[in-house]
Amino acid sequence: MTRTRRFRLLSAVLILGLFASACSSRDDDDDTSTGGDGGGEGGGEESSIDTSNCVTDPTAEIEGDTIKLVSSYPQSGLTAAFAEIASGWQSYFDMVNQEGGVEIAGKSYQLEWETKDDEYNAAETVSNIQEMLGSEGDQAFATFSVVGTANNLAIRDDLNEECVPSLFAATGSPAWGNPDYPWLIGSTLSPYTLEGQVFADLLKDQAPDAKVAMLVQDDDFGKAYEDGFRQAIEGTDIEVVKVEKYATGASEVSAQITSLASSGANAFFDGATLLACPAALQSAAAANWQRDFTWVSSTCISKTLMGIAGADAADVYSISNIKDPQDPQWDDDEGMQLYRDTVGANFPDTDTENGIVAYGWTQAAVFVEALRNAEAPTRLAVMESVHNIDVGDDVGLLAPGAGVTTGPEDPYMGERLNLVQYGFEGPDARNHFNVVGDTYDFEGQTADLTPEDLVTG
């Protein structure tokens, strides 16, 4: 009996002690539960961004002379193909730092960054960003180039609440135009619904009664393709005969392709990304699927992924607004040479012919332009500046005519784009995408061309 009594006493002491110790305080900062009134009501004049609910003060100026960015993206395993984006943007930032940094309102800032691997898993992205930003969102200035639709959706509530800029999300989801989330902005990767639009236009022109089979990822990334394309073909004779989905991040899709191949479709929308994308093309070839048109996701046009598909990717269509570094016509281009030299010096192991590196480079270039145009070194001013970008095609490696424009009401970049087609000339050739036809200009139209629930849902 004494044993039980002693134990009861111990637990009572434990619980009492817990409450008693709760009254003292740790040496660091004060409590966070009431920290909400630090928000910048004063900074709200004329701003397009509502800052009244910010947990942190977005009008606070950067302390010191560095701007710290954090990023989370797949860096290992089967999802590592996207890791190369970072060698592009890091090289550009390095170059800017060596030239003295970015000048905002008369003061120069060095760019600094920290990244973590999330293996394309949204839960990991949440932990990574929380860890790097700190629970108050004060360990870094902003996030930059976080990869993945679900991944960015998973972190946007926190970032929005903390009013931490979430910049150049490396995904083309139309959800980045949601006015409820003014602190998140996409990148020059064109909104996925525009891909559906361009493919629909191509089919209307060349095969008005096409039957389309779609392969999409089983999440909001895939939903954007499916719903976007369905809206684009409304009122035409084009028909979606079958849609197959694959689990987010999976790389094996042969079962889905077998099913699609037997659907009688003569057009294939390969909306897969990462390894699933080339795997789908290979499986389609293995299944001897006779079709007239194949579309691949614009997230899949890198040398890494197209190289895997090889001859099976011959003649596939997609869109792009970046100069393809594999295309010999840009060999003498000044921007391309600068890119090659800088990335080559910073990351000797990186293949500069990989379009995904050029994409990363271009994001950094556009962002640095926006930073320079910011009125003050504050989160709010930078966010307002990226909502007022107007740069020509001389920035980064933007393709001719593919300048980037954003506005307070139109956060979409990448609305000027080219239809491109993959020319396969042999396994060792510099296979690249060729521009087909004129540049599309959807400037300011993405919201109209997108089902509303994809933006706000």
What are 143's two structure tokens?
């996030």
Are 244 and 214 in contact by the 8 Å Cβ rule? The answer is: yes
Choose which of 40, 196, 249, 403 interacts with another protein (CB under 8 A): 249
| CA gap 165, 156 in Å, rounded | 10
Interface with another protein includes 332 (CB under 8 A)? no
| CA gap 150, 453 in Å, rounded | 16
What are 404's two structure tokens?
């980037």
Interface with another protein includes 76 (CB under 8 A)? yes
Residue 39 CB neighbour total at 10 angstroms: 20
Report which of 327, 296, 311, 274 is spatially closest to residue 433, judged by C-alpha positions. Answer: 327
Choose which of 11, 98, 329, 456 interacts with another protein (CB under 8 A): 11
Choose which of 85, 96, 147, 153 interacts with another protein (CB under 8 A): 153
Interface with another protein includes 12 (CB under 8 A)? no
With CB under 8 A, what is the number of residues at the site for another protein?
Answer: 47
Query: Which CB atom, from 6 or from 107, has the smaller least distance to another protein?
Result: 6
What are 92's two structure tokens?
């550009």
Choose which of 141, 221, 229, 339 interacts with another protein (CB under 8 A): 221
Helix 276-286 and helix 254-261: axis angle, to 10°? 50
Report which of 111, 80, 89 is spatially closest to residue 347, judged by C-alpha positions. Answer: 89
Query: Which CB atom, from 172 or from 403, has the smaller least distance to another protein?
Result: 172
> Closest separation between CB of residue 147 and another protein, Å?
13
Interface with another protein includes 23 (CB under 8 A)? yes
- Residue appearing with tokens 């296979």: 431
Q: Given the rule CB under 8 A, which of 203-211, 247-255, 382-390, 443-451 is the region that contacts another protein?
A: 247-255
Interface with another protein includes 10 (CB under 8 A)? yes
Q: Given the rule CB under 8 A, which of 100-108, 117-125, 365-373, 386-394 is the region that contacts another protein?
A: 117-125
**Exposure of 258 by Cβ count < 10 A (0-12 exposed, 13-18 middle, 19+ buried)?**
middle
Interface with another protein includes 219 (CB under 8 A)? yes
Choose which of 1, 5, 25, 332 interacts with another protein (CB under 8 A): 25
In sequence order, what E strands does 273-410 have?
293-296, 317-320, 390-391, 404-405
> Closest separation between CB of residue 424 and another protein, Å?
33
Interface with another protein includes 149 (CB under 8 A)? yes
Radius of gyration of the chain, Cα coordinates, nearest whole angstrom: 24
Residues at the contact surface with another protein, assessed by CB under 8 A: 6-7, 10-11, 13-15, 17-18, 21-26, 28, 31-33, 76, 121-123, 126-127, 130-131, 134-135, 149-154, 157-158, 161, 218-223, 247-249
